[in-house]
Structure 1
């Protein structure tokens, strides 16, 4: 008899034996089979999920990513580098953060997610901090992942405000792209001084010379009024200043460090007179 015919005969025989049994018996067999399969599944669930097999996560902070990966995989963990960040205080490609954290108890085969330090720092635009208070400037720098370097104090009327921002000792313009983690030096105002000195005589000096003179005296340029005929401000001449070097009584005007002097500029150098002569001494005979 061909094999196919034999299979048909056997199938008919099995079906015939099943149909001869009662419905209740067949139902009981089906329910029992399901319960048995369920029991086998739950008994093997612990083996499948490695229930009870736990490990303690090792500390890979500041380790090179390759070393950290080898250490974690050898301990029975999977590793996934999920993010990167730039921190100037740790080496490039060092682990900055791990999840789960060191010391955590987790199952064997758990994936440990790593955040590593970038090789090249990202560039960021330098903000304009002039006029900010020190606290506001510090918060702005930290928000951009920049650091406050040295602080230099200079007399000026606006106490504890930023007068200038420097990088590597050179003035730094707002908007210039610089690496994250750069140390920014802030020149801060220490307020006006207590000692009064004569106001410098700036009339007849070029604007550039006047600024240098004021800086040397710890004074600043106030309002600058420029004559319309001036084409080169730096080489324009100071024709008037406020406060003047001397008042109308030929007395010296006194200023304190940190104060400012207003300037009037012209393209024509002024002819300075001898000034107001001091009043003669009383020569009335006794």
Structure 2
């Protein structure tokens, strides 16, 4: 057979080779559509908020491949639910296309609680969002610094700055409503312990101002109030008046005051 081929002219052999390549090329292009599934397309279904198990089954049954590529934490989304899909729902893609999923984490990551006290509500809200925390309830309390944060609470309890809290937590903010419009008599704190004075001021919607502490005090909570500003009465022995949210400063001593002839002095 080799001798027959070599006996033919070079031109004839070249034509045979070219013809063979053309036939192979024609067959290849005819099969190309089958190999690449050209023209076979599918519409991507919506798997948002479905569990990753259900979403994977739905997509694979529809002719897609599935790859979980990322995770995120959304507090309002069930654990292991799909948050995002690529390509998006409704996209027209080829059969066998890989759909990439972003799912919700099972355990929320921990973030550091920021210090919001003294910030305006707007600044506190932005700070919380930057840490992926949410603003929960807002409680208003009389205070002179209107609309600023007085306390930050988690689960009804004070939460200190720097503490690790779950991402997505709702933080309750206690905000200042400003001073009240109605004046009330200044409570007489003289003779009370520091703890009793704080409770009394809180019950009157007044705030504790400067606290002057005697160096001899070893137990601040049980130290005694021996002076306050404003005083319960003015120089004319008239009742002093304050508005809700105003400050009352006190002086503490380790010894209770001695009241004599209507005057109050502290023991030394």
Structures share fold, TM-score greater than 0.5: yes
Which residue of 2 is the match for residue 52 of structure 1?
39
2: CA distance, partners of 1:64 / 1:112:
15
1:218: Cα distance to partner? 0.3
Between Structure 1 and Structure 2, whose CA radius of gyration is higher?
A: 1
Which residue of 2 is the match for residue 111 of structure 1?
98
Which residue of 2 is the match for residue 7 of structure 1?
none
Contact kept? 1:82, 1:114, Cα under 8 Å = yes
1:40: Cα distance to partner? 4.8
Q: RMSD of the TM alignment (CA)?
A: 2.3
2: CA distance, partners of 1:263 / 1:33:
106
Which residue of 1 is the match for residue 118 of structure 2?
131
Q: Greater strand percent: which structure? A: 2
Which residue of 1 is the match for residue 197 of structure 2?
210
Asked whether 1:245 is paired with 2:225, we answer no
1: CA distance, partners of 2:26 / 2:153:
74
Q: Which runs of 5+ in 1 are unaligned?
A: 1-9, 277-286
1: CA distance, partners of 2:200 / 2:63:
71
Contact kept? 1:208, 1:235, Cα under 8 Å = yes
Q: For residues 146-194 of structure 1, give each alpha carbon's deviation from its aligned partner in whole angstroms, at most 9, with x where no partner exists.
A: 2222111100011111111112211112222222222221111110000
1:46 aligned counterpart, secondary structure:
helix
TM-score with structure 1 setting the length: 0.83
Contact kept? 1:134, 1:162, Cα under 8 Å = yes
Which residue of 208, 219, 222 corresponds with 1:221?
208
2:198 aligned counterpart, secondary structure:
helix
1:271: Cα distance to partner? 1.5
Change (3 A) 1:136 1:17: farther
TM-score with structure 2 setting the length: 0.88
Change (3 A) 1:53 1:270: same
1:260: Cα distance to partner? 0.7
Matches within 5 A, 1:56-205: 56-205=43-192
